[in-house]
Structure 1
Amino acid sequence: MNRAHAHTRHDDAPHGVHQDHGPDGQAEILDLDAEVLADHLASVTAWLPLAAGPRRIVDLGCGTGAGTFALLDRFPDAHVTAVDASPGHLQHLREKACARGVQERVRTVQADLDSAWPDLGTPDLVWASASMHHMAHPGRTLCAVRDTLAPGGLFAVVELAGFPRFLPEGAPADRPGLEERCHAATDRFHAEHVPHRGADWGPMLTAAGFAIEGERTVSVNIEGSRNEAIGRYALGSLRRIRDTAAVTLSPDDLTALDRLLDTDGPHSILRRDDLVVRTERTVWAARRT
């Protein structure tokens, strides 16, 4: 279960626009997402309705470990089984676990959960962040999670409101509203290819035999001056958006976007001092009944 967003490929990039969207490029985006949004992720793990700290946790679609390490920090007595389809992501996660000295508390499992469900034990908590909407048969996956959980166990589903926004409303000066037009193009693409993105998971969780114990939407608004990683996060995110949006953007919009992505140029997004990370994440906490 790879957390990569579906995208098309466009290789007509000018000098300085590095179209690296392989496993390493995606891993960098996931790591930047974890770094920039660490405080918000910690607030979600702290909010989970748990009477006692879970000892056995499963992170479904773990990517490079944003959720895994946030959960290990929140629950110091817990062990996490991190599940993903990407061997590269899992290797990166293991390396980070060793660097943090928590390798004894992490087990990795490579699996495509749309094909076969591995033995994940009977966890007290299952965490799925930005992964459920990629499932081909989410209802079947929800039932499998319910059957896997220990009696009374908790399932936390965290979903994103698409890619974050970074630019102020009137930017860039020559093409105001460019970012919103890029998002509109990718939203149309994802509506066709990733239909469960943005879904209300509450009714589906209830239908699968869960009792909803809480739902929370976390609004994110982080000024770029607070974290130098935000420029790189914006660059990586807009590079991925370009792949999908390029086929529908006007030539003038595409030229303006490529100027932002040209790291060698004077209009590079890395040179801007007015970036703000704006996004939302919604979390559902559901108890196995």
Structure 2
Amino acid sequence: MNPSHQHTHAHPSPHDHGPGHAEADQAEILDLDAEVLAEHIASITASLPRRTDPHHIVDLGSGTGTGTFALLDRFPTAHVTAVDVSGDHLERLRTTATVRGVQERVRTVQADLDEGTWPDLGSPDLIWASASMHHMTHPARAVRAAADALAPGGLFAVVELAGHPRFLPEDAPEDHPGLEERVHGAVDRVQQELMPHRGADWGPLLGAAGLTLDLERTVDIDIDGSGDELIGRYALGVLQRLRDAVADQLSVEDLAALDDLLDTGSPRSILRRADLRVRTERTVWAGRRADG
């Protein structure tokens, strides 16, 4: 299991050059995700129903550090323990921490959170799990482990996405309208089998673990990407990973149209479109442990 922020479980494709290449591509998308959605992530961290600012935070399924650095920015006296199964992602996180001058405030732990026994994470005031809980094979067990690790009065925040972001207008591309929705439909069918807890309501699971639900909030995201090179690269990376996941599920015509969008040398490349938008939503649930 890889509880990182980008959810595609890609199958091999002619565009891959081995596992290391795929993981590097994923890491780049995670970094782009952090940059494109920084304002919305900051809004979520600001909405957490904290009583006091946390001193020790655990970021479960940290990836390359999207949540870690947002939380360090929000809570300038806090330290974060970043937990992920990927050593490469954690190495990238540590490098970024050094560049940002916050390396003394970050500890990394490589661990598979689907294991029955978790590493010792101390007694954090806040546990943050963004786009990682739906990867769990046994989510109720993982929520219970997180609840048990919290300090009395501590908060467990679960943030989940409503699928992958959309970028194209419904009538795009012009000679193959609706292509993106068909790609997402194929991805949803594949991932429903791989990750049956994707799209779950985490409120009842927090309650079953003995936590009191203090917040449930959905954030709608719609960012104008017209002429934005960053969003073009983000769209290219996300759609490439979706293509890798479902190439064998698409019609010949849809696959050819998608490959044309992904061909950076094509005049119809997604990088040359002036009508991109980032459309998605995130829901946050925050459960509090009793004071003792």
Pairwise same-fold verdict (TM > 0.5): yes
Alignment partners' CA distance in 2, 1:227 and 1:246: 27
Whether the 8 Å contact between 1:149 and 1:288 is mirrored in structure 2 is yes
| Counterpart residue number, 2:44 | 44
| Counterpart residue number, 1:151 | 152
| Counterpart residue number, 1:81 | 81
Whether the 8 Å contact between 2:3 and 2:131 is mirrored in structure 1 is no
User: Which secondary structure does the structure 1 equivalent of 2:214 belong to?
Assistant: strand
Alignment partners' CA distance in 2, 1:2 and 1:216: 22
Whether the 8 Å contact between 2:206 and 2:213 is mirrored in structure 1 is yes
| Counterpart residue number, 1:105 | 105
| Counterpart residue number, 1:246 | 247
Whether the 8 Å contact between 1:10 and 1:246 is mirrored in structure 2 is no
- The runs of 5 or more residues in structure 2 that have no matched partner are none
| Counterpart residue number, 1:9 | 11
Whether the 8 Å contact between 1:21 and 1:240 is mirrored in structure 2 is no
C-alpha deviation, 1:243, in angstroms: 1.6
User: Which secondary structure does the structure 2 equivalent of 1:45 belong to?
Assistant: helix
Alignment partners' CA distance in 1, 2:13 and 2:131: 27
Alignment partners' CA distance in 1, 2:206 and 2:3: 21
Q: Which amino acid aligns with 1:202?
A: G
Q: Which amino acid aligns with 2:133?
A: M
Alignment partners' CA distance in 1, 2:87 and 2:101: 21
Alignment partners' CA distance in 2, 1:12 and 1:124: 45
User: Which secondary structure does the structure 2 equivalent of 1:225 belong to?
Assistant: coil
Alignment partners' CA distance in 2, 1:260 and 1:86: 30
C-alpha deviation, 1:18, in angstroms: 8.6
- The runs of 5 or more residues in structure 1 that have no matched partner are none
Whether the 8 Å contact between 1:210 and 1:287 is mirrored in structure 2 is yes
Alignment partners' CA distance in 2, 1:162 and 1:208: 25
| Counterpart residue number, 1:61 | 61
Q: Residues 34-68 of structure 1: CA distance to partner in whole angstroms, max 9, x if unpaired?
A: 00000000000000001210000000000000000
Correspondence 1:128 to 2:129: yes
C-alpha deviation, 1:83, in angstroms: 0.4
CA RMSD, 1 decimal: 1.6
C-alpha deviation, 1:245, in angstroms: 2.2
Alignment partners' CA distance in 1, 2:289 and 2:227: 40
Matches within 5 A, 1:184-223: 184-223=185-224
Distance 1:6 1:224, change over 3 A: closer
Whether the 8 Å contact between 2:54 and 2:125 is mirrored in structure 1 is yes
User: Which secondary structure does the structure 1 equivalent of 2:39 belong to?
Assistant: helix
User: Which secondary structure does the structure 1 equivalent of 2:81 belong to?
Assistant: strand
| Counterpart residue number, 2:91 | 91
Alignment partners' CA distance in 2, 1:275 and 1:21: 27
| Counterpart residue number, 2:256 | 255
- Number of aligned residue pairs: give it: 286
Normalising by structure 1, report the TM-score: 0.95
Q: Residues 224-267 of structure 1: CA distance to partner in whole angstroms, max 9, x if unpaired?
A: 13743100000000001112221121111100000000011111
Q: Residues 195-228 of structure 1: CA distance to partner in whole angstroms, max 9, x if unpaired?
A: 0111110111111111100100000000113743
Decide which moves more: 226-235 or 54-63: 226-235
Decide which moves more: 198-207 or 37-46: 198-207
| Counterpart residue number, 1:23 | 23
Q: Which amino acid aligns with 1:77?
A: T
Matches within 5 A, 1:161-180: 161-180=162-181
Whether the 8 Å contact between 2:3 and 2:133 is mirrored in structure 1 is no
User: Which secondary structure does the structure 1 equivalent of 2:248 belong to?
Assistant: coil
Q: Residues 106-137 of structure 1: CA distance to partner in whole angstroms, max 9, x if unpaired?
A: 00000111123001000000000000000111
Alignment partners' CA distance in 1, 2:103 and 2:168: 38
Decide which moves more: 181-190 or 18-27: 18-27
User: Which secondary structure does the structure 2 equivalent of 1:270 belong to?
Assistant: helix
Task: Give the percent of matched residue pairs that are identical in Structure 1 and Structure 2.
Answer: 66
